[in-house]
Amino acid sequence: MVQGWNLIGYSSNNSIDLSNAKFNNGSNEYTWTQALSNNKIQAYLSYYDSSSETASLRKYKYLSTISGMDASAFADNKGYWIWANQSGNLTLPSAGGATSGQTYAWSKLRFMNSSGSEMNITQAGTAGWVENIIYYYDASFRGFKEIPTDDEVLHSWTGNFIWSYKDNITLIRQN
């Protein structure tokens, strides 16, 4: 994670309680409780809950170890916003993930809607599901840039973003 806002995706069959997360700033590793007490990270992670069929009831909720929040464990197929007071690595035991430095051809990305229809990125763009331009976070630029069309490669650990025009679109990466 970089200092500031970070978006992390969670997709796992394992239910991991936030209290099991670890934060490592390159010098020290902290339990979640230690990271909070040492002011390394913010106590609340935000996520958008789109599960209600009533649009007005869809809203951002909070993941936290503090009693009374909406959730304390990561949910499958959710994205979480977290504020880090300093750069470091957030580790979620048993969650899996990608190794830094891996690349993926964006032509192999597939999208599926809630009815089970599946399309590649070009088809999904033409059908109006998604914008077929992918953005990434460039830490040296400290902002978002388009992935060059001649590159067409997603890099792990760079914060890739795809604009969706439809609800309940699932991104599938083929190996």
Per residue in 113-149, pLDDT tens? 888 899 988 899 899 999 878 887 777 777 778 876 5
Distances 165 to 26, 126, 129, 159, 162 between C-alpha atoms, Å: 38, 11, 5, 19, 10
Q: Which residue has the higher pLDDT, 66 or 81?
A: 81
Q: How far apart are CA 34 and CA 40, in angstroms?
A: 9
Q: What are the two backbone dihedrals, phi and then psi, of residue 123, each rounded to the nearest 5 degrees?
A: -65, -45
Residue 89: half-sphere exposure toward Cβ, Cα within 13 Å: 13
Distance, C-alpha 96 to centroid of its chain: 13
For 46-73, b/e burial (b = at least 16 CB within 10 A) is bbeeeeeeeeeeeeebbbbbeeeeebee
* Segment 70-90, tens digit of pLDDT: 888 888 878 899 999 998 888
Q: What's at 10, amino acid-wise?
A: Y
